[in-house]
């Protein structure tokens, strides 16, 4: 589905998306593709070379402005610009044009560029402050003779900065445009100041698992000079490596990973694909390096016929198609985005109305022209984008079906072999717009499934959401509607906003392989490149590369998937006690067992795969391998919350999988108290084996009852009870097991320290704070029409929560920060407006309580109860709730008192501990809940107390 306001911007400016943007300080012309200036009033021939842009100017005189690669970030005011360039023929001078924060243009003075001169410093003393910000936009060149030639190498925009930050680390891409390496990275160290620098420079890079790679070098740099550095030591393993984050420049990032390329045959069962809104040499090279076989890109009807029914422009489409086809990448396009002149109406009067209703005759002429011109040259055309969302089709389902039927008829007339895909349906979520998108989707299938050859489905979000939508809604709907054409995950991803890069990378692994296992013929990640620069805004961060074309962690994961699964065929899902996700794929030399835990926690367990393997290696997400114990065809491996692949060499199938080492211990532990747990160890082999057990305890942990070594008979299982004591907060219990002389393997169980509430004096610090992105749940992140309403941080929505016992009442206080107070549009569903919800689970009860509170439109406090344990009456509890709510400015104070007798509790039972969960709802448009922040999973959806924190009230 995609994707919001950024989509409108990129579709409107695609012809200008020709380069890798300049970073905060530097622009390497060798890493950017120049614009086409051949048709300007003063023509220039620009060619990207390994050294920079080669500029040939046939006429003498002043040229039109040459657009420079510039990013849209507003910067502090610079003090100078340094141009590194070389005159190859003739003599020239140049002038730079900038714009300040008020939108006022500023031109530098003319600067001479003569033969033999390599660097010019352009001071900016006369530039107005302009809110202290500016952008470098373009340059004008003035030549004195005809047939002049220049080589533009680099632009450095210089800012005042501390002396210790004068030296900048930049990736040296050599002859290429992208920081991808197969062995050792290369760097450029630049002095960005006007004073010499002599010292040791050091930088630390971190991979997705926290490993470090240090690079250091002694430097002696004159002002504005540089050195190139290839470190003698290489990173410890393949993957993507991040330098430290900084506010002054983009993070330095690079990939060490084998080049997949496109020379090997494609997988005839499954296509690896990406989506991107623009195509240029850097984009194509990134896809080729990864081994991507298909690219989804929307040119749009508005660009094909921008001005009227007789105005046809295929330039952008042809350029994309030619660039992709030249390296062997198949292009997928979408017939969508009605030009204003071809629309029946523009119901929302939007500047970029993606939901314009096309006139049927104009639509048919557009479709016919596209299929006649491109036919088999594209892999397939999709019929509209996300037609189930009002942001793309705000007209009745029968009108969309009419568009589909006419397209099918025309395509069959022109080329019966041409494939059409349904519009990529956005979501099956019943919570989005009351389930309207899913109903639209099903109605299209019931009436018009014969109009397409491929069933296109999106569904953004993390794996648990995707799995639920596919298994519980999407596939059953296909069966109900008797849809037999193949389906593909044609645009589905998750962003990396707010430093969730690892979660994004893990999401790709799980969703892609799960889609394959559920019968999809292709998976398309949205998108190759970030749409913008704001690392806290979800819509800017869906890319495999950032907006500067530097690789993110997910780049290494997609590269590893393509590398390992290129020749794979899906075999089946393996069922196993403990219910991890296990999917077997067969290659000519091995079986690949994709695996991850059923819950995305810090737990890890050891399993045995019975597959008659000669050896086994477990690959992490980036493709780094660890040898695993393999005897008698049985291989051990570890299952964690993140994905991995067990490579079973010589195997042809997996017979079964069973647990070998599992920790069972309550997640909630009380400090300075004993907690009982159990370690279960199994010998998976047909002979006796010794297992060494080594607890790896954190500070304040002690354990008793576990033996150091145990001897297990053939196929014996042993349960070993133990007692854990924690004197400090701990997040997990970790134990290493070593079978015979094989490598040690880790078992872990998450721990959570029980909160002890001494009283109801809420002048103390809050017991819980909800203000983190990791606590956010938002359906709107899957709907591009609603991007402007996405959660933007604690000032948008956050909460502080206290809980305590006083006078036989359970007191709960919540201070909610919410920039807009909006009441529920439905009086009987207060959760659809600004409100709070909480869940209480007490020992010995069959079920749990869930209740909530909100203000109504008259400012009255409204209590509500939705769930109670068996034998408890909802109405009685609602009546017992003592509720006060006060709103001042952007702060809402909720104070709730619950007689513990109404909950079936006595003070002594509360001192034994109970589970508590909490969420705060946000509604900004008056229509429905846009998002909520929750303390733990199990509230707001999939109601359960399993993950809720434990509380003791004294």
Q: Is residue 660 part of a domain?
A: yes
Q: Domain check: are 630 and 506 in the same one?
A: no
- Comparing 224 with 617, which gets the higher pLDDT? 617
Judge if 32 and 130 occupy the same domain: yes
Residue 194 preceded by cis peptide, ω within 30:
no
Structure tokens at 343: 């629309």
DSSP class per residue in 125-167:
TTS--GGG-EEEEEEEEEESSSSEEEEEEEEEEE----GGG-E
Phi, psi of 131 (to 5 degrees): 65, 15
Residues 66/139, Cβ–Cβ less than 8 Å: yes
Q: Which two tokens stand for residue 933?
A: 């922040």
Domain boundary among 753, 778, 797: 753
Q: Is residue 297 part of a domain?
A: yes
Can you point out the beta strands (E) in 632-684? 634-640, 644-649, 656-664, 668-669, 674-682
Strands ordered across the beta sheet of 891-899: 768-770, 797-806, 809-818, 891-899, 882-888
Distances (CA, A) of 367 to 305, 391, 402: 12, 22, 13
Total number of domains in the chain: 4
In this predicted model, what pLDDT tens digit does every residue of 67-79 receive, in sequence order? 887 655 555 677 7
**Alpha-carbon distances of 876 from 828, 863, 906, 910, rounded to whole Å:** 17, 12, 18, 21
Residue-wise pLDDT tens digits, 821-853: 888 888 788 998 999 999 999 988 888 999 999
Q: Percent of the chain scored above 70 by pLDDT?
A: 92
Express each pLDDT in 759-805 by its tens digit.
888 999 999 999 988 888 876 555 555 555 677 788 889 999 999 99
Does 498 fall in a domain?
A: yes
More confident residue, 780 or 257: 257
For residue 939, give the 3-state DSSP assignment: coil
Q: Quick count: other Cβ atoms within 10 Å of Cβ 324?
A: 23
Distance, CA of 951 to CA of 954 (rounded, Å): 10
Other C-beta atoms lying within 10 Å of the C-beta of residue 244: 11
Residue 76 lies inside a defined structural domain of this protein: yes
354 sits in the region (left: phi over 0; alpha: psi -120 to 50; else beta) called: alpha
In a domain, 378, yes or no: yes
Please tell me whether residue 363 adopts helix, strand or coil conformation.
helix
In a domain, 404, yes or no: yes
- Residue 76 is predicted with a pLDDT of 65
Q: Are residues 545 and 575 in the same domain?
A: no
- Of 568, 591, 609, the residue at which a domain comes to its end is 568
The larger pLDDT score, comparing residue 462 to residue 706, is at 706
Res 618: pLDDT: 98
Mean pLDDT for the stretch of residues 417-422: 96
Q: 527 preceded by cis ω (within 30°)? A: yes
Q: Residues 748, 851: one domain? A: no
> Looking at the structure, do residues 657 and 779 belong to the same domain, yes or no?
no
Task: With beta carbons less than 8 A apart as the criterion, state whether 304 and 366 touch.
Answer: yes
Which is nearest to 155 in space by CA: 86, 78, 227, 83?
A: 83
Domain span holding position 53? 26-158
Indicate the pLDDT class of residue 417, thresholds 50, 70 and 90.
very high
Encoded tokens for 59 = 């006429």
Measured at the CA of 98, the angle between CA 94 and CA 102, to 5 degrees, comes to 160
128 neighbors 139 (Cβ within 8 angstroms)? no
Report the candidate in 453, 551, 462, 455 with the shortest Cα–Cα distance to residue 514: 462
Model-wide pTM > 0.85:
yes
Residue 578 has pLDDT above 70, yes or no: yes
CATH of the domain at 398: 3.20.20.80
Q: Per the structure block, which two tokens stand in for 301? A: 């009807």
Mean pLDDT of the chain: 89
Q: Does 496 fall in a domain?
A: yes
Domain check: are 786 and 914 in the same one?
Answer: yes
Q: Please tell me whether residues 802 and 720 are part of one structural domain.
A: no
Look at residue 918 and tell me whether its pLDDT is greater than 60: yes
């Amino acid at each position: 589905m995609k994707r919001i306001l950024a989509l409108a911007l990129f579709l409107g400016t695609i012809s200008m998306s020709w380069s890798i943007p300049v970073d905060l300080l530097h622009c390497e012309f060798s890493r950017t593709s120049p614009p086409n200036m051949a048709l300007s009033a003063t023509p220039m021939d620009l060619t990207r070379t390994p050294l920079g842009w080669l500029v040939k100017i046939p006429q003498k005189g002043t040229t039109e402005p040459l657009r420079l690669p510039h990013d849209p970030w507003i910067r502090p005011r610079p003090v100078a610009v340094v141009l590194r360039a070389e005159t190859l023929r003739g003599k020239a001078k140049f002038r730079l044009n900038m714009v300040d924060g008020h939108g006022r243009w500023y031109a530098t003075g003319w600067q001479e560029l003569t033969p033999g001169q390599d660097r010019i410093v352009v001071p900016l003393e006369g530039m107005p402050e302009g809110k202290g910000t500016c952008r470098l936009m373009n340059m004008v060149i003035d030549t004195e003779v005809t047939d002049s030639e220049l080589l533009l190498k680099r632009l450095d925009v210089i800012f005042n900065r501390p002396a210790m930050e004068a030296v900048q680390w930049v990736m040296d891409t050599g002859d290429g445009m992208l920081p991808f390496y197969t062995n050792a990275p290369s760097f450029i160290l630049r002095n960005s100041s006007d004073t010499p620098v002599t010292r040791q420079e050091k930088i630390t890079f971190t991979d997705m698992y926290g490993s470090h790679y240090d690079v250091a070098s002694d430097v002696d740099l004159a002002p504005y000079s540089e050195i190139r550095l290839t470190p003698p030591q290489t990173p410890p393993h393949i993957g993507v490596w991040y330098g430290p984050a900084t506010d002054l420049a983009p993070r330095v990032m690079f990939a060490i990973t084998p080049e997949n390329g496109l020379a090997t045959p494609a997988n005839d069962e499954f296509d690896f694909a990406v989506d991107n809104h623009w195509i240029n040499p850097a984009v194509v090279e990134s896809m080729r390096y990864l081994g991507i076989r298909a690219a989804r890109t929307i040119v749009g009807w508005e660009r094909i016929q921008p001005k009227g029914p007789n105005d046809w422009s295929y330039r952008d489409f042809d350029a994309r198609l030619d660039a992709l086809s030249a390296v062997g990448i198949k292009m997928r396009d979408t017939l969508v985005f009605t030009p204003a002149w071809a629309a029946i109406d523009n119901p929302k009067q939007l500047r970029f109305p993606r939901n314009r209703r096309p006139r049927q005759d104009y639509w048919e002429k557009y479709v016919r022209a596209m299929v006649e011109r491109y036919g088999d040259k594209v892999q397939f055309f999709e019929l509209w984008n996300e037609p189930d969302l009002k942001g793309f089709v705000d007209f009745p389902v029968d009108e969309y079906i009419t568009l589909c039927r006419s397209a099918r008829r025309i395509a069959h007339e022109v080329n019966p072999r041409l494939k059409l895909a349904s519009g990529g349906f956005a979501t099956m979520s019943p919570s989005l717009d009351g389930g309207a998108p899913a109903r639209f989707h099903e109605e299209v299938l019931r009436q018009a499934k014969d109009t397409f050859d491929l069933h296109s489905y999106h569904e953004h979000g993390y794996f648990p959401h995707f799995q639920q939508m596919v298994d519980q809604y999407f596939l059953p709907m296909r069966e109900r509607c008797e849809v037999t054409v193949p389906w593909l995950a044609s645009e589905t991803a998750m962003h990396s906003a707010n430093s969730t890069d690892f979660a994004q990378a893990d999401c790709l692994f799980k969703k892609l392989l799960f889609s394959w296992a559920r019968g999809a013929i292709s998976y398309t990640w949205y998108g190759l490149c970030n749409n913008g620069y704001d690392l806290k805004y979800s819509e800017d961060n869906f890319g495999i590369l950032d907006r500067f074309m530097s690789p993110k962690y997910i780049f290494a994961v997609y590269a590893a998937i393509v590398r390992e699964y290129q020749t794979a065929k899906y075999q089946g899902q393996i069922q196993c006690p403990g219910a991890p996700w296990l999917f077997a794929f067969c290659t000519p030399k091995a079986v690949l067992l994709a695996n991850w835990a059923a819950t995305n926690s810090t737990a890890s367990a050891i399993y045995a795969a019975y597959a008659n393997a000669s050896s086994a290696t477990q690959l992490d997400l980036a493709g780094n391998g660890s040898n695993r114990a393999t005897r008698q065809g049985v291989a051990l491996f570890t299952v964690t919350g993140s994905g991995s692949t067990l490579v079973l060499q010589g195997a042809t199938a997996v017979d079964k999988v069973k647990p070998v080492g599992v920790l069972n211990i309550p997640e909630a532990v009380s400090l300075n108290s004993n907690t009982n747990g159990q370690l279960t160890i199994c010998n998976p082999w047909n002979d006796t084996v010794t297992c060494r057990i080594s607890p790896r305890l954190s500070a304040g942990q002690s354990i008793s009852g576990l033996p150091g070594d145990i001897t297990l008979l053939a196929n014996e299982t042993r349960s070993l009870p133990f007692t854990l004591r924690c004197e400090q907060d701990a997040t997990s219990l970790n134990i290493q097991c070593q079978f015979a002389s094989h490598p040690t393997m880790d078992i872990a169980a998450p721990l959570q320290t029980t909160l002890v509430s001494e009283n109801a004096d809420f002048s103390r610090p809050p017991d819980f704070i909800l203000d983190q992105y990791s606590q956010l749940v938002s359906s709107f992140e899957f709907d591009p029409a609603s991007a402007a309403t996405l959660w933007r941080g604690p000032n948008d929505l956050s909460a502080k929560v206290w809980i305590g016992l006083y006078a036989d009442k359970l007191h709960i206080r919540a201070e909610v920060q919410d920039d807009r107070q909006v009441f529920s549009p439905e009086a009987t569903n207060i959760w659809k407006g600004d409100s709070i919800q909480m869940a209480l689970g007490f020992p010995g009860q069959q079920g749990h309580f869930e209740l909530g509170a909100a203000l109504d439109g008259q400012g009255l406090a409204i209590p509500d109860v939705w769930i109670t344990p068996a034998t408890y009456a909802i109405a009685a509890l609602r009546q017992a709730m003592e509720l006060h709510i006060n709103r001042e400015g952007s702060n809402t104070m909720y104070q709730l008192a619950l007689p513990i007798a109404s909950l079936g509790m006595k003070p002594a039972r509360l001192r034994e501990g109970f589970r508590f969960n909490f969420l705060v709802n946000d509604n900004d448009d008056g229509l429905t809940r846009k998002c909520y922040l929750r303390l733990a999973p199990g509230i707001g959806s999939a109601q359960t107390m399993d993950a809720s924190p434990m509380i003791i009230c004294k």
